Each structure stands twice: as structure tokens, then as C-alpha cells.
Amino acid sequence: MGDATNIARLRKLCMSFPEANERISHGEPTWFAGKGKVFAMLDNHHHGSKHLAVWLPQPYGVQEALIAKNPKRFFKPPYMGPSGWVAVVLDGKTPWKLLEQLMRDGYALIASAKLKKALADR
């Protein structure tokens, strides 16, 4: 899969969450939970990065566990990494089911009570 295909698949996944919307932030497509916080940020080789990746907020400890298990797939993103976010490399072997679960966990972490209920009800 090329970058365009992975980005299209990521966009479709992000937009499947309740009241998700996409805006450009820091020059990259970024997805928000309703009018609230960010739950996913695209890293399309930003600042010369060798990766196409998505950055996701995660509960405490998840970032470290994922990176320890597979440092080629997961990394600590600049700027957001100290807050527990994890970056997931998107390539031809992207674990889409796992990515969807990580995105769900990140969405639930930052979403309003109303959006958390909508997520649980779907």
C-alpha cells in the first residue's frame, strides 16, 4: 500500500468515530472529537520524518509497552510523546485492527461524556 492509500484508509477510520471532524493543524490533517480535543494526527513525513504515521493519545503506560514490544512499528512522537501519545507507523503491514483499538482508546480518553456514550452505544 502506498502513502495515499494508507492516508485514505486512516481518514475513513478516523471519520467513523462519533462527531469526528478533520481540520489542518500544524500543516497536517488532524481529527477532533466533536468540538473538543484531538484524537489523531497524521505525520506525513513531517519535518523530513522517514515515517508516514499517525499519532494517538493513550492511557498511561501504553506508549512504553507498545514501543518496547515493537519499536519499528511504534515510537514516541515529538511534542506529544511526553504526554503519553504514541505514533504508529503506517505501511504495507499496518495492523489495522490494532490501530482501530488504539484509536478507540485514545478517543475515549479525550472525548466528552456525550461522545463517550455515543462511542459505547455503537
Q: Where are the domains of the chain?
A: 3-116
CATH 3.90.1150.30 fits 3-116, yes or no: yes
Q: Are 29 and 22 in contact (CB under 8 A)?
A: yes
Tens of pLDDT, residues 98-113: 999 999 999 999 999 9
Task: Give me the residues of the chain with pLDDT under 70, please.
Answer: 1
Q: Which of 23, 33, 43 is nearest to 91 (CA)?
A: 43
pTM of the model: 0.94
Burial of 101 (0-12, 13-18, 19+ CB in 10 A): exposed
Q: What is the pLDDT of residue 1?
A: 61
Calculate the CA 116 to chain-centre distance.
17
DSSP codes of every residue in the chain? --HHHHHHHHHHHHHTSTTEEEEEETTEEEEEETTS-EEEEEEESGGG-S-EEEEE---TTHHHHHHHH-TTTEE--TTTGGGT-EEEE-STT--HHHHHHHHHHHHHHHS-HHHHHHHHH-
